[in-house]
Amino acid sequence: MNPTFSISPSGESFPLPVIADYQNELNRIAELVQQARSENKEIVVVMGLGFVGAVMAAIVADTKDANGKKSKFVIGCQRPSSRSLWKIPLINRGESPVKA
């Protein structure tokens, strides 16, 4: 059986991407990166958005330059599995996937 959803600990369900989704997502991220580069932001990629990765991504994203301006653009990556993909939509809407 091939699951088609990732379910968060709260029970919210998120569809797993299909092959056709990957190019659109790559294009979306490329546009965001281009915008960040035009703002002279450093691009940082965090692999894995579990307990350590989610916190690290948030800390880096909050980094400011000497003028108090945000200086980093963070891309968080999580494998598209039924067990863990739910972290991405939560982070995208500003919610931490980690509870402590």
* Number of other residues whose CB lies within 10 A of the CB of residue 96: 13
- pTM, two decimals, is 0.86
Q: Which two tokens stand for residue 71?
A: 């200086």
Residue 4 has pLDDT above 60, yes or no: yes
Alpha carbon 18 to its chain's center: 18
Domain layout of the chain by residue ranges: 15-92
Look up tokens 């999580």; give the residue. 78
The reported pLDDT for the residue numbered 36 is 98
- Lowest-pLDDT choice from 1-5, 7-11, 28-32: 1-5
Alpha carbon 52 to its chain's center: 13
User: pLDDT digit string (tens) for 39-83?
Assistant: 999 999 999 999 999 999 999 999 999 999 999 999 999 999 999
Q: Residue 69 has what DSSP assignment? A: -
